[in-house]
Amino acid sequence: MSEIAVRATPELRYRYAAGRYASVFLHGLREGRILASRCHRCARTLVPPRIACTGCFGSMDEIVTLPPVIENGDLLLPTGPGWGADVNEEFVRAHPPRR
């Protein structure tokens, strides 16, 4: 049996639905805003917005705008809880920002 090779350029048409919260976040970025969701139960704030709190699994119905804090050209991360991700301090120390 011999092999048959077919050369073609496929045309792939698709749409991606980011979902309600991701769409809100992406539209905010386009407007230059950082949007987050805030938990009504534990007051945790998550970026990007999520539908459920990762801390207490409460509903995150409130969308808030977070002001970016920039110092000497660097975006500063908050030191308190609530961004939805813990900072890996060992990694940050190993990869300091370039000046």
pLDDT for 43: 81
For residue 27, being part of any structural domain is answered with: yes
| Positive/negative CA dihedral, 77, 82, 84, 85 | positive
Q: What is the mean pLDDT of residues 22-32?
A: 86
Domain limits for position 90 = 20-94
Whether the CB-CB separation of 38 and 44 falls below 8 Å is answered with yes
Summarised one tens digit per residue, pLDDT across range 53-80 is 888 888 888 888 887 777 888 877 665 5
For residue 32, being part of any structural domain is answered with: yes
Task: Look at the chain and report how many structural domains it folds into.
Answer: 1
- Mean confidence (pLDDT) of the chain: 80
Which has more confidence, 94 or 97? 94
For residue 70, being part of any structural domain is answered with: yes
pTM of the predicted model, to two decimals? 0.54
For residue 72, being part of any structural domain is answered with: yes
pLDDT for 81: 52
For residue 6, being part of any structural domain is answered with: no
